[in-house]
Amino acid sequence: MARRKKVDVIGVIEESAQGVHDSIMRRRKPKMRMPVRSLANVIYKPRTGYFVLKGQNKERTLTVNTVKTFAQTLKMMALSKELVAGEDMATKREAYYISKNWGEAAFKEQPESDTVMEDIEAMFGLIREQLRFVPEEKGGEVAGRLVVVDRDSRGKKLEIDCTKFGSGSYSIPIECEHLEFHSRAKFILAIETAGMFQRLHKYNYWDKTNCILVSLGGVPTRACRRFVRRLSDQLKLPVYAFVDGDPYGYFNIYRTFKVGSGNAAHLNEYFCVPQARFLGVTPQDVLDYKLPTHPLKAVDIKRAKDALKNDPFVKHHKEWQKAIHQLLKSGVRVEQQAFAKHGLDYVVKTYLPEKLRKKDKFLP
Amino acid sequence: MARRKKVDVIGVIEESAQGVHDSIMRRRKPKMRMPVRSLANVIYKPRTGYFVLKGQNKERTLTVNTVKTFAQTLKMMALSKELVAGEDMATKREAYYISKNWGEAAFKEQPESDTVMEDIEAMFGLIREQLRFVPEEKGGEVAGRLVVVDRDSRGKKLEIDCTKFGSGSYSIPIECEHLEFHSRAKFILAIETAGMFQRLHKYNYWDKTNCILVSLGGVPTRACRRFVRRLSDQLKLPVYAFVDGDPYGYFNIYRTFKVGSGNAAHLNEYFCVPQARFLGVTPQDVLDYKLPTHPLKAVDIKRAKDALKNDPFVKHHKEWQKAIHQLLKSGVRVEQQAFAKHGLDYVVKTYLPEKLRKKDKFLP
């Protein structure tokens, strides 16, 4: 599995800027080239394990119309160079505010600076964290049989034992490239909702089954995805996803977690968790466990139908097509907490053990 | 400051249920009485430090129209009794799903079960956590000079040192009544955004100033508020709030954090942090620090004007009225991250030290 390569980010930035400079000196219009970012420009290769770019590029040539974006891209590259050199970082929001000192190149709204940042990422094939731009939001939570190795501000090694947080838990930092791990756990359980995470934590599920619990907190953040990926790579641990049984859980959470999204395919190499398998909740579980449900909303139906038509991951896996047809036919969605109908400990005592005995039947 | 009293919750529930039973046996209509929950039914007493109920009650009498809610209330009380007896807990969502086994008394949607739960809280003057109903969402994050004392599942004492998590942090559990604290910190800094929390954590602000950093993550959860309150009570530590300079930051975050809200006044005794003071960002800071701003939105203006008219806290404090008039006159709002315009370390090197030298001028 890919480890992030040590890249001379400053070198890459300087080389690109030099190219622009040289074009101008030769009285040619400078150009920047970057991949098209959409689901139409990715393919799903199960061997690679995540969506990869098909190779369509767009070109940005310096003209009267593009001059502002062009200048902003160069200024953003300069900021990145400064952050790398100073071993500092900036959140996306901070980067936007820093631009307020760029005179006419200042961004009016943050979506503009975010887009330029993403263009630079895609152009260099680097991830934002390598450019020292870090996410605003926090990472995710961890409890269970894991020791995280980090360092304090003086460089002293710290061993953070995730079995020693009592009823609390370890909160993943916004950047986790420097972390190392020790563990003898048997698997990682990635959980959609904070409520279910707390339920399993409360019942010491990690202690009983020798596993690591990770709370995704809805759509997992970049830091959370990268954390699970590095953890799973380094310790060769299987990852099982336990999410709500609805199209949002299947695609926005699980599919993105495992193989990525079309919009950010240049990141998938680092942020996807191809080793993830789908534990539940499946449309079949609704029947097998007589779960209380809610009707599918219009947006659920649209999301499911779109996936059948356009999603390279779903188109590749017959098992998923079958599951989605079953979902659409049933007309209902289900939540993780629905197991509570049979008693609060039912999920721990019955559902999870039964599912884990049939791991080989997990959806891919 | 109030510590949560040890209440015989089972006794309280049984007594109330007995009353209903006795009324029925005497062929009288059973009644339940609970306080009216709105901003109109609270007063602000600076001595007490938070909004308290004025005492308006509503009565629910068993009739043909109320029979379902009445039955649901009794079933919910029975569930609570069971949870207390079994030392278990249920999230709001789980409680809703458990009702699916109540036959005709099953809740159709979760807002219905939430309302019944809140009615029971208010009726008994207890908080949901005492009834063993815990929030769905997680608590908040902590870094800095604090040792949290908790226990593992076998009852063994754990000392959780919040200076030892490297770039990560301690995630507050959804319930924190059992925690104890050791610290020699000088103050608690409560921060609205995860981005600013990470900035201060990255620059080891807690180490340099001997403090405890708490990330509120927007409107703080109940667990986060209770955590800060207990921490501040037990260690007699001042709490400074550092939030965005807009009406949402002033009222929805700071005001609620400090004195509570009208909707849940019966909880304020436990969840408010009356010792909190407002560090910033103030409308005056925008001028003093030449910060980049955004225009106030219609909803900001409405929120500010409503507060001047109806909010007992604002009506009590001339300083806040002055600040809000200044805000409305300026027509702009400001974010915590805006300090980045002057450099990423400006907030740590200039803004916070300057403000802390004038603590006595903090808004109440």
Whole-number Cα distances in Å, B333 to A111, A361, B314: 18, 54, 18
Residue A6: per-residue pLDDT: 61
The catalytic site residues of A sit at 97
Residue B6: per-residue pLDDT: 61
> Would you tell me which residues 288-307 of chain A have a C-beta closer than 8 angstroms to some C-beta of chain B?
292
Is the pLDDT confidence value at B5 over 60? no
- In sequence order, the β-bridge partners of residue B33 are B59
Is the pLDDT confidence value at B84 over 80? yes
Q: Are B279 and B192 in contact (CB under 8 A)?
A: no
> Would you tell me which residues 92-111 of chain A have a C-beta closer than 8 angstroms to some C-beta of chain B?
93-98, 100-101
What sign for the dihedral angle of Cα A49, A54, A60, A65? negative
User: Whose structure tokens read 């530590």?
Assistant: B237
Compute and round to an integer the Cα radius of gyration of chain A: 22
- Judge residue B64's burial from the number of C-beta atoms within 10 Å of its C-beta, 0-12 exposed, 13-18 middle, 19 or more buried: exposed
Is the pLDDT confidence value at B193 over 60? yes
Q: Are A142 and A173 in contact (CB under 8 A)?
A: no
Q: How far apart are CA A268 and CA A51, in angstroms?
A: 7
Residue A350: per-residue pLDDT: 97
Q: Are A213 and A206 in contact (CB under 8 A)?
A: yes
Query: Ramachandran region of residue B109, left (φ > 0), alpha (ψ -120 to 50) or beta?
Result: beta
Does the beta-carbon distance from B163 to A152 stay under 8 Å?
A: yes
Does the beta-carbon distance from B195 to A94 stay under 8 Å?
A: yes
Of B88, B100, B168, the CB nearest to A344: B88
Do β-strands A187-191 and A239-242 pair in parallel, antiparallel, or remain unpaired?
parallel
| Residue B127 half-sphere exposure toward CB, CA atoms < 13 A | 21
- Judge residue A108's burial from the number of C-beta atoms within 10 Å of its C-beta, 0-12 exposed, 13-18 middle, 19 or more buried: exposed
- In sequence order, what are the residues at sequence separation of 6 or more whose Cβ sits closer than 8 angstroms to the Cβ of residue A188? A211, A212, A214, A228, A231, A232, A237, A238, A239, A240
Judged by a CB distance cut-off of 8 A, whether residue B113 touches chain A is no
Of A100, A164, A174, the CB nearest to B158: A164
Query: Ramachandran region of residue B215, left (φ > 0), alpha (ψ -120 to 50) or beta?
Result: beta
Whole-number Cα distances in Å, A119 to A174, A278, B318: 21, 32, 49
- Domain range B9-134, CATH class: mainly alpha
Mutation for testing the A interface, residue in B344, B347, B351 having most A CBs under 10 Å: B344
Residue bearing the bigger pLDDT, B308 or A39: B308
Residue B222: per-residue pLDDT: 86
Q: Are B148 and B170 in contact (CB under 8 A)?
A: yes
Phi, psi of A190, rounded to the nearest 5 degrees: -100, 120
Fold of B141-361: Dna Topoisomerase Vi A Subunit; Chain: A, domain 2 (3.40.1360)
Is the pLDDT confidence value at B194 over 70? yes
Of A137, A165, A173, the CB nearest to B167: A173
User: Whose structure tokens read 């039947």?
Assistant: A361
Domain segments of chain B as ranges: 9-134, 141-361
Does the beta-carbon distance from B217 to A138 stay under 8 Å?
A: yes
Is the pLDDT confidence value at B4 over 60? no
Q: Are A225 and A179 in contact (CB under 8 A)?
A: no
Residue B249: per-residue pLDDT: 96
The mean per-residue pLDDT over the stretch B275-287 comes to 96
Whole-number Cα distances in Å, A62 to A69, A119, B89: 9, 15, 62
Of A94, A136, A337, the CB nearest to B91: A337
Judged by a CB distance cut-off of 8 A, whether residue B90 touches chain A is yes
- In sequence order, what are the residues at sequence separation of 6 or more whose Cβ sits closer than 8 angstroms to the Cβ of residue A23? A29, A30, A31
Compute and round to an integer the Cα radius of gyration of chain B: 22
- Give the residue among A266, A358, A355, A265 at the shortest CA–CA distance from A313: A265
The mean per-residue pLDDT over the stretch B69-84 comes to 94
Does residue A273 have a cis bond before it (omega within 30 degrees)? no
- Give the residue among B72, B120, B112 at the shortest CA–CA distance from B93: B112
pLDDT digits (tens, 9 = 90+) for B236-270: 999 999 999 999 999 999 999 999 877 667 778 78
Quick one: tokens of B155? 């009852």
Is the pLDDT confidence value at B7 over 80? no
Q: Is the ipTM of this complex over 0.90?
A: no
Q: What percentage of chain B reaches a pLDDT higher than 70? A: 97
SS3 content of chain B, % helix, strand, coil (to 5): 50, 20, 35
Q: Would you give per-residue pLDDT tens digits along chain A (364 residues)?
A: 344 456 789 999 999 999 999 999 999 989 888 887 777 777 887 788 888 777 788 888 888 888 999 999 999 999 999 999 988 889 999 999 999 999 999 999 999 999 999 889 888 888 888 899 987 777 789 999 999 999 988 889 999 999 999 999 999 998 888 899 999 999 999 999 988 999 999 999 999 999 999 999 888 888 899 999 999 999 999 999 999 999 999 999 999 999 987 766 777 878 899 999 999 999 999 999 999 999 999 999 999 999 999 888 999 999 999 999 999 999 999 999 999 999 999 999 999 999 999 999 999 9
| E strand map for B3-155 | 31-35, 42-45, 50-53, 57-61, 90-91, 133-134, 141-144, 147-151
- Whether B351 is a known active-site residue: answer no
Q: Are A307 and A251 in contact (CB under 8 A)?
A: yes
Q: How far apart are CA B360 and CA B253, in angstroms?
A: 21
Quick one: tokens of B29? 């209509």
- Give the residue among B100, B282, B362 at the shortest CA–CA distance from A292: B100
SS3 category, B180: strand
Whole-number Cα distances in Å, B266 to A352, B49, B177, B180: 39, 14, 18, 24
Task: Identify the closest residue of chain B to A151 by CA–CA distance.
Answer: B166
The mean per-residue pLDDT over the stretch B125-135 comes to 86
